[in-house]
Amino acid sequence: MKILFVCLGNICRSPLAEGIARYLALKWELELEVDSAGTSGWHDGESPCEGSVMVAKRHHIDISSLKSRKVSLYADDTFDMIVAMDSANVAALIAMGFEPSKIHKLGAFGLQNADIPDPYHYRNADGFEEVYRMIEMGVECLIKKYFKLSIG
């Protein structure tokens, strides 16, 4: 299975989702290919933001080598599933021409269909940790559902 995680700038939320999915695929020995991208090109070529790198590191995940890129209908249409962090990302992906049946919101997996907020919307140091926990839960639920796992 190939999954693309998408947020707005590809420097906070989607790199965390990519890192968590890679970690879980390795841990659970799954054949899973993952990547991440943004609906905007504002940060093309940039590394994930410091807050995301640090929170991932606290959870033993290294996302520091990832680079931001803009999602492309032509390059990314090969993914089996495109997982957006929020409703605005879903709308942008549909507007770009992606097949709606491939697009899912991460919050639909164990998070009561909630949007995953940008960690900068939190005005405290716990914002990245809160967003990390939401993404981790969503990614775990997504993987368990599609790989039919009953892992604790």
Q: Which residues are catalytic?
A: 7, 13, 118
Write out the DSSP string of 93-131.
HHHHT--GGGEEEGGGTTSTT-----GGGSSSTTHHHHH
The tokens describing 52, both together, are 């995301």
Nearest Cα to 128, choosing from 59, 26, 46?
59
